[in-house]
A and B are shown apart, each in its own frame.
Chain A
Amino acid sequence: MSERVRVEPPQGPPFDCELQAPEVIIGRATTAGVVVPDSSMSRHHARLFQRDGRWWAEDLGTTNGTTLNDRPLVEATALDHGDRLRLGATVIRFDPDAGGATTDPGTLNRQAARLRTLNEIHRALATPISLSELLDLILERCFEVLRPEEGVILLKDTSGQFLPAATRRLPGKTGEVVVSRSLVEEVAGKGKPALVLDAALDDRFASSKSLIMSGVRSVVAAPLSDADGSIGMIALSSSVNVKQFADQDLEMLVSLASAAALRVRNVALAEEAAARKVLDRELSLAHDIQMAMLPRQQLERPEIDLAARLTPARSVGGDLYDFAVDGDRLWFIIADVSGKGVAAALYMAVAKTLFRASVRPDLGPADVLSRMNRELCRDNDQIVFVTAAVGHLSLTTGEVALGDAGHNPVLIVGPDGRSRTPKVPKCMALGVVADTPYTDGHFMLAAGEALVLYTDGATDARDRGGDMFDLDRLTNVIERCGGKSAEEIVAGISDAVGTFAAGAPPEDDLTLLVIRFLGRR
Chain B
Amino acid sequence: MRYPILALLANKPAHGYELKQIFDSRFGTIWPPINAGQIYNTLSALERDNLVQSKEVPQRGSPSRRVYELTQKGRIMLEEWLEETSESPTLKEEFIIKLVLAYIVGKPDPLIIIDRQRQEYFKEIREINDLAANKSNEITTKLLIGAASLYIQALLKWLDQCEEELTKYVRNEPTIT
The answer to whether A binds B is no
